[in-house]
Amino acid sequence: MANALRLGIAGLGTVGASVVNLLAKHGDVMARKAGRAVTISAVCARDPNRDRGIDVSRLSWFTDPVEMAKSDEIDVFVELIGGDNGPAENSVRAALAAGKHVVTANKALLAKHGVELAQIAEASKVSLNYEAAVAGGIPIVKTLRESMSGNDVSRVYGILNGTCNYILTRMEAEGISFEDCLADAQRLGYAEADPTFDIEGNDTAHKLAILTSLAFGTKISADDIYMEGITSITTADIQAADELGYRIKLLGVAQRTDTGIEQRVHPTMVPKSSAIARIDGVLNAVAVDGDFVGEVVLVGPGAGGNATASSVVADIADVARGDQTPVLGMPAADLDDYTRARMRLHEGGYYIRFSVVDRPGAFAEIAKCMADGGISLESIVQRRKAVGSGVPETGAQAEPQPVILITYETTEVAVRQALDAIASKGVVSGAPQMIRIEKLS
């Protein structure tokens, strides 16, 4: 057998400690499969005294990841610190420049600097592997980078954030509000103390940016992602979706169109019959539409120490075997520039919920504005509010009533113009809720 492949693991938190555990448990089997032993030579974290539940006492300890990245003691730098700048960025750059292979779980770093890092890795003739950066334990990077390389991909989409999926699943199952679900998710450790990055869609966007590049052979362009989070979703929307045959999921979608590539992250109505609609709780799922294979759907845990370590160690095994794949599926110089499809040209069906003022002709005004915009309606649901919906006393203003429209396929610009026209007529109260419907088989 060749000399053991020597690892330096930077970051011994949730993922780093699990990688150490996994290698301790399955290192031998992995070595047999890869034809080369793998050993941890050095580790790096900030606090050498913290109890991490792992034994690193016989390993070289670094507090500076850049120093470890350059060390002669290691062949592979495993970056599990996190963040798109500072120690993670500096140490990955240092490792690649020093001719070390890099394995990372860092989506933020890849989304921001992926193309440049790919160029440095190519120049140094080393691997840059990042399976764990997208959907944790699901092997979607390998699927796109290798297994589906014979396909022309038209769309890749998925549930890429377990926190959001957990919240939406519980809101539906138990009829509880977004705020209560979020508080519960935080108590149970499924959501960060500051959940903004998850619930506003940034985390999904980082992963989508990487998927887009792999699926379409374009440069990563994370700043070009249309993004809406889940904070405006109410139990009324979830209940209405249910009655209309849909479920609401936060999806990241990248799709080829006539004018470029759409990259969008937003709450989405998906037909109950679709595979993605059945993904519950903290699970993730990624679907890829390939022209020869059809639709491939991968489901699994998108986070957690052990699931993420599973992907990190698979990347290490590739290095041990000597498998080297272009970082973004093809040489970085061959990646196309990303051309953004304008969101206003997005085509699809829409769910729209209005609070309509209770006066004669209000509904007719809404229907007219939609018709004037060339928008056809598939269904209209008018509800009577249960509470406080009695006959108003003389002179009192009646409560606005919820009205839900489902449109046939139209464009984003047509819907937005119709909503503006409706608002100008004074027939609705407050901002309407608008949720895009994804066409799925």
- Catalytic machinery residues: 207
Give least dist CB 369 to ligand NAP, A. 45
Are 280 and 165 in contact by the 8 Å Cβ rule? The answer is yes
Contact map string, positions 100 to 129, toward ligand NAP, x by CB under 6 A: -----xxx----------------------
- Cα separation of 87 and 63, whole Å? 11
Is residue 286 marked as binding? no
User: Site for ligand NAP (CB under 6 A): how many residues?
Assistant: 24
Say whether residue 46 binds ligand NAP (CB under 6 A). Answer: yes
107 a known binding residue? yes
Query: Which strands, in side-by-side order, build the sheet including 2-10?
Result: 60-62, 36-44, 2-10, 76-79, 101-104, 128-129
317 and 34 in contact (C-beta within 8 Å)? yes
Q: How far apart are CA 368 and CA 110, in angstroms?
A: 48
Q: Does 40 bind ligand NAP (CB under 6 A)?
A: no
Rank residues 92 and 375 by Cβ distance to ligand NAP and give the closer one: 92
For position 151 contacting ligand NAP by CB under 6 A, the verdict is: no
Question: Directed axis angle between helix 107-124 and helix 202-216, to 10°?
Answer: 30
Contacts of ligand NAP in 278-297 (CB under 6 A): none
Residue by residue, DSSP assigns 189-218 as: TSS-SS-HHHHTSHHHHHHHHHHHHHHHTB
Strands (E), 58-201: 60-62, 76-79, 101-104, 128-129, 153-159
Nearer residue to ligand NAP within complex by CB, 134 or 238: 134
Pick the piece of the chain touching ligand NAP (CB under 6 A) from 38-46, 172-180, 339-347, 427-435. Answer: 38-46
275 dihedral zone (left: phi>0; alpha: psi -120 to 50; beta): alpha
In the complex with ligand NAP, the residue whose CB is nearer, 186 or 355, is 186
Candidates 8, 82, 195, 432; binder of ligand NAP (CB under 6 A) is 82
Per CB under 6 A, 44 contacts ligand NAP: yes
81 makes contact with ligand NAP (CB under 6 A):
yes
> What is Dmax (Cα atoms) for the chain?
91
CB of 115 to ligand NAP, least distance (A): 18
Site for ligand NAP in 53-72 (CB under 6 A): 65
CB 103 within 8 A of CB 95: no
Helices (H), 245-384: 305-321, 362-372
Question: Between 12 and 428, whose beta carbon lies closer to ligand NAP?
Answer: 12
Measured CA to CA, the distance from residue 80 to residue 312 in angstroms comes to: 9
73 carries a ligand binding annotation: no
136 is in an annotated binding site: no
- Is residue 87 at the binding interface for ligand NAP, with CB under 6 A as the rule? yes
107-134 per-residue burial string, b: 16 or more CB within 10 A, e: under 16: bbbbbbbbbebbbbbbebebbbbbbbbb
Rule CB under 6 A: say whether 222 interacts with ligand NAP. no
251 marked as part of a ligand binding site: no
Of 50, 272, 342, 359, the one binding ligand NAP (CB under 6 A) is 50
Query: Shortest gap between Cβ of 67 and ligand NAP (angstroms)?
Result: 10
Among 114, 195, 201, 304, binds ligand NAP (CB under 6 A): 304
Q: Does 12 bind ligand NAP (CB under 6 A)?
A: yes
Residues that bind ligand NAP (CB under 6 A): 11-16, 44-47, 50, 65, 80-82, 87, 105-107, 132, 136, 303-304, 308
Binding residues for NADPH: 107
